[in-house]
Amino acid sequence: MNTGFEKTILFAAIEDYVGLWELLWEFADQPEITEEEMRPAIADLTQRGLIKLYFCREPYGELSAVEYEGYEDVLANLQNWVVPGVNQTGIRASATKQGEAYCRSLLE
């Protein structure tokens, strides 16, 4: 995986519980990067334990973890990549401690 791509995703996930749609915004200057391109990158970071996905009652409501076995279905659902409305469920990502450490190592 492209470490620049990883770094951008991890930085966003370290700052806050970042929505999948917000991760797309991180690459707004690269229109060729779509949810199709992001899906495997986020799946890889999840598999490696560097980020965790959460269901969130928007905006910024209670979070509940996406079970490890269900994250691929969540990422495959295109509706999860658009800005959710008020009181709808959004998908957010957050870096784990391991993800934060890995991101710091990319800066060295």
Q: What is the pLDDT of residues 42-80, one digit of tens each?
A: 999 999 999 999 999 999 899 999 998 899 999 999 999
Per cent of the chain over pLDDT 70 is 98
Q: Strand 18-19's sheet: what is its strand order?
A: 18-19, 89-95, 51-57, 63-65
Q: Does position 10 have pLDDT exceeding 70, yes or no? A: yes
Q: Does position 3 have pLDDT exceeding 80, yes or no? A: no
Q: What is the pTM of this model?
A: 0.92
Domains of the chain, start order = 3-107 (1.10.10)
pLDDT for res 106: 84
